[in-house]
Amino acid sequence: MYTIGKLSKSTGVTVRTLDYYDEIGLITPSAKTSGGHRLYDEDDVMRLERVLALKYMGFSLEQIKDILRESPSTWQQSIQQQLEMIRREQERLKMLEQALTGVSYSIEFEGEINWSIIFSVIQLYQQNPEDAFQQYKDFLNNEEMRKIMDADARMSEEDIKEWMRIINDIKNNLEIDPSSAKAQQLAERWLTQVENMFGNDEELLGNMWEALQNLKDGIAFYPMDKDVIHFIERVFIAKEESK
């Protein structure tokens, strides 16, 4: 058992903070001495460890209370749960980094701000990476969504910049003849970059294409939009018809 002073010294958490956690019912000591001094057992220490980890990850104390209502019963379970939360947070931050980089290049290339994407980025600060793909759940299963997120995470800054260049070039040529050499070249550049990013998994690429054809505004496949998708569709149709 730990007295509040010993627990404070061992963990670096001030007595004042421990007092506050006790006051709001976040970490309540399991016992008291005959003189009324608080005593913390192993479960209390485990709870404190989880509170500190969650607080470091940016959760509010109210959010932490909600998370701890289903507290695991062992240190191993607690650590595994924290590891999973940390992995999800890393994914969210990586997707956020990629999104912000893409928005920055978009402003550079297009000279204007896409406010719907800015709002999507703001939402990404408050949600899990999987949530960005929920609108595509009718077309992509969980494993495919995971592959896409992994591919996004592997993209370098130059990869993102090249992707933005290709999309921007297409947007600047939406009205050209889809059977023209230039249109075919743009579509091939787009397809090559998609395969570089996501590999040659035909089933995944097919399902992604179906998802893109039903695209809604959002960050998941930014900077793709309906105009770009329709351009690619017209070029592919023209190519098939020319055979």
84 in a structural domain: no
pLDDT at 55: 85
pLDDT in tens, 192-215: 988 888 888 888 888 888 888 887
Q: Which domain holds residue 29?
A: 2-71
pLDDT at 117: 66
> In 10 A of CB 44, how many CB atoms?
21
CA distance 177 to 174: 9
Q: Does 99 map to a domain?
A: yes
Whether residue 104 sits in one domain with residue 52 = no
Do 126 and 186 fall into the same domain?
yes
Residues 233, 190, single domain; the answer is yes
Residue 77, domain member (yes or no): no
42 φ, ψ to 5°? -60, -40
Block residue for tokens 């939402």: 123
**Is residue 85 in some structural domain?**
no
- Return the structure tokens found at 166: 């290709």
Do 72 and 78 contact (CB within 8 A), yes or no? Answer: yes
Pair (62, 104) in one structural domain = no
- pLDDT number for residue 122: 65
Q: What is the mean pLDDT of each run of 10 residues along the chain (243 residues)?
A: 88 92 91 86 87 82 82 69 80 76 74 68 64 78 83 80 88 93 94 86 87 71 83 91 78
- Beta-bridge partners for 31: 39
**CA distances (Å), 151 to each of 52, 147, 201, in order?**
32, 6, 12
pLDDT tens across 148-185, in order? Answer: 878 877 888 888 888 888 988 998 999 999 999 999 99
Q: How many CA atoms lie within 13 A of 190 on its CB side?
A: 22
Residues 63 and 99 occupy one common structural domain: no
pLDDT of res. 126: 61
* Amino acid symbol at 219: I
For residues 52 and 115, membership in a common domain is answered with no
pLDDT of amino acid 176 = 96
How many domains does one find in the chain?
2
Q: Are residues 221 and 101 in the same domain?
A: yes
Amino acid at position 158, single letter: E
Whether 58 is covered by a domain: the verdict is yes
In a domain, 78, yes or no: no
CATH of the domain at 41: 1.10.1660.10
Q: What pLDDT is stored for residue 220 in this prediction?
A: 64
Residue 81 lies in a domain: no
Same domain, 149 and 62: no
Asked whether residue 64 is domain-assigned, the answer is yes
What is the predicted pLDDT for the residue at 190? Answer: 93
Contacts of 96 (CB under 8 A, 6+ apart): 121, 124, 125
